[in-house]
Structure 1
Amino acid sequence: MDIVAVAAQKGGVGKTTTTYHLTRAAARAGLRVLAVDADPQGNLTSALAAEPPQPEALGVADTLNPDAEHRYALDDVIVPAVWEGVDLAPTSGEALTYIEDELTQKPKTPENSSRLKANLATMADRYDLVIIDCPPNRGALTVNALVAATQVLVVTMPALYAANGVAHIFSSIQEVQKELNPELKNRGVLLNLWEPSTIASREWRLWLAETYGDQLLEPYIPKREAVKTAQEAGMGLDELPKTEELVRFYDAHLQRLLPSRVGRN
């Protein structure tokens, strides 16, 4: 089972959108997928859940609860997603925010940092791919995702704060690799919301390329309304007209992440 954490230091760069479209690419490739919404904002849940979860419904927070008496197994919270072959570990309400605060206040011990990993270990025979939408920060939930993951994909956009944030998330990745998950592979930086027609976008892309070299992955994902529209409608890009190029872009990134599972077209 491959476990991919999709991470970013800053919100608004398209981290959840990337997770969503990579999930669709994996479903189209015939993989059995579990999408884990580890972001308290719950945007992945809003897009992927076949039925909107009620605020009191069980979710990812209940599997990470530091209080063992009130902790549930991941299997207790999984719900169907909008696509066949995809399940979702959802987030709704404010519970995950509270759990993040509790975990942050606790010591960064292997036990507290490995709660998600322990839950996912029970899923190994059920899924080919687990894809985790991390919060846009370096907190306890992101650490849990990185400890659980076999690889991490960082998402950014060609703008000042987003580009500078890549160094911070890379620092967290290196810390986890050193102390908690030496097998974690950093798959590089996916550039999202790319606007080649603007000077600022071109300049920040150049800065990222000079700073991170071949870790800056191609193809870049352009800023297109269809990318957002598909997510808001709970649809795949392949279900919209005139999006063949975008579909190929996400397929290419999935193939890079999972070369042994996804063949080249």
Structure 2
Amino acid sequence: MTSPPPHVAVSNYKGGVGKTSLAQGLTVAAAEAGDRVLVIDMDAQGNLTRRLRAPLSPNPDERFGASLADVLQRPAKGEIERILVPCGYGGIYSERISVAPTHFDLELLARTAGQAASERRLLRALAGVTDDFDLVVIDTPPRLFCHLIDIAWTASDVILMPCEGEYEAVEAARRVKERVLEDRHTLNPDLEIAGMVVSRYRSNLTLHKQRAKEMEKIVGAEGICPTRLPELVAFKNMSEKALPIVECGSEGRHMASLYRDVYKWSRDRINTVMKGAA
């Protein structure tokens, strides 16, 4: 029997640290490596949905019915399959990346947080569907205590945290670890933090080097990706233009190489962490 693919939640309590960019970059790098990727956009802002060019209909009725907001109301097993759409980049990306799109109506799920087993809805909706993929990437909102986070983490095997070299981002990452340790027995006893990826890194700043050392105290030196993602114009173009970063000029080709390195490290690290937790 084929092992299920790892379910990876990309999370940080602080916004603006490159969370959705990391989810986008890892997804594209995985497809370039030949992997089939299922992307779950659990952030009601829908930024990853837009960046992967998996837009929903402008018609409110059609949009709701074709999104996670509808599926996660009362999902049947495997129901997420009915809303999956291919990434809109074309070529290998459309062939290998499937997206469960979302929009702001996903926030309405907070009204149902008190219902029995409501945090298991995504897990139920994914049942049987993930067998056709090599990786599941779940982009989450920049929150710590909210129903969408509970749903996402319950369906995840590991958490991967992007973190820039700033005090607030490091403290936010620390709080993510604290919440996982305190609450995973009620959400997902097997949930682990795979590691951290340093984003928006400036190698000429002593402060950023110091903050990277502080990150090691959260996940250990082995949990810090050795490839650090710099702050380049291509990084912004990838999100603004909704393109694979390799198509964002010479800087983009350099960044694409870095994302491939991050993806390779992430897969190795995730495998190590999951084996250790088994």
1:140 is the counterpart of 2:140: no
What residue in structure 2 maps to residue 76 of structure 1?
A: 82
**Take 2:135 and 2:59, find their aligned partners in 1: how far apart are those partners?**
27
What residue in structure 1 maps to residue 15 of structure 2?
A: 11
Q: 1:47–1:152: structure 2 CA closer, same or farther, 3 Å change rule?
A: same
What residue in structure 1 maps to residue 166 of structure 2?
A: 159
**Take 2:7 and 2:166, find their aligned partners in 1: how far apart are those partners?**
28
Are 2:75 and 2:124, in contact at CA under 8 Å, matched by a contact in 1?
A: no
Which sections of structure 2, spanning at least 5 residues, go unmatched?
272-278
**Take 1:170 and 1:39, find their aligned partners in 2: how far apart are those partners?**
20
Are 1:49 and 1:79, in contact at CA under 8 Å, matched by a contact in 2?
A: no
**Take 1:113 and 1:164, find their aligned partners in 2: how far apart are those partners?**
26
What residue in structure 2 maps to residue 121 of structure 1?
A: 127
Q: Percent identity?
A: 27
Are 2:49 and 2:55, in contact at CA under 8 Å, matched by a contact in 1?
A: no
- SS of the aligned residue for 1:258 comes to helix
**Runs of 4+ with >6 A deviation:** 69-72
Which sections of structure 1, spanning at least 5 residues, go unmatched?
none
CA positional deviation for 1:53: 3.7
CA positional deviation for 1:207: 2.6
What residue in structure 2 maps to residue 112 of structure 1?
A: 118
**Take 1:16 and 1:231, find their aligned partners in 2: how far apart are those partners?**
9
CA positional deviation for 1:72: 9.6
What residue in structure 2 maps to residue 44 of structure 1?
A: 48
1:235 is the counterpart of 2:248: no
1:33 is the counterpart of 2:42: no
Q: 1:155–1:36: structure 2 CA closer, same or farther, 3 Å change rule?
A: same
**Take 1:41 and 1:245, find their aligned partners in 2: how far apart are those partners?**
29
- SS of the aligned residue for 1:24 comes to helix
What residue in structure 1 maps to residue 106 of structure 2?
A: 96
What residue in structure 2 maps to residue 191 of structure 1?
A: 198
Alpha-carbon RMSD:
2.6
**Take 1:217 and 1:39, find their aligned partners in 2: how far apart are those partners?**
24
Q: 1:150–1:229: structure 2 CA closer, same or farther, 3 Å change rule?
A: same
**1:220 aligned to which of 222, 225, 228:** 228
CA deviation digits over 1:165-191, x for unaligned, max 9? Answer: 111111222245333323323111111
**Take 1:50 and 1:140, find their aligned partners in 2: how far apart are those partners?**
24
TM-score of the pair, normalised by structure 2: 0.82
CA positional deviation for 1:261: 11
**Take 1:164 and 1:12, find their aligned partners in 2: how far apart are those partners?**
14
TM-score of the pair, normalised by structure 1: 0.86
**Take 1:34 and 1:53, find their aligned partners in 2: how far apart are those partners?**
21
Question: Which is worse superposed, 161-170 or 224-233?
Answer: 224-233
**Take 2:228 and 2:249, find their aligned partners in 1: how far apart are those partners?**
20
Greater share of helix residues, 1 or 2?
A: 2
CA deviation digits over 1:100-136, x for unaligned, max 9? Answer: x2144x16x5x11111111111312222211010010
What residue in structure 2 maps to residue 204 of structure 1?
A: 211
**Take 1:69 and 1:151, find their aligned partners in 2: how far apart are those partners?**
23
**2:71 aligned to which of 43, 55, 63:** 63
Q: 1:176–1:62: structure 2 CA closer, same or farther, 3 Å change rule?
A: farther
Question: Which is worse superposed, 129-138 or 54-63?
Answer: 54-63
Question: Which is worse superposed, 170-179 or 143-152?
Answer: 170-179
Are 1:49 and 1:90, in contact at CA under 8 Å, matched by a contact in 2?
A: no
CA positional deviation for 1:69: 9.2
Q: 1:63–1:175: structure 2 CA closer, same or farther, 3 Å change rule?
A: farther
**Take 1:173 and 1:136, find their aligned partners in 2: how far apart are those partners?**
15
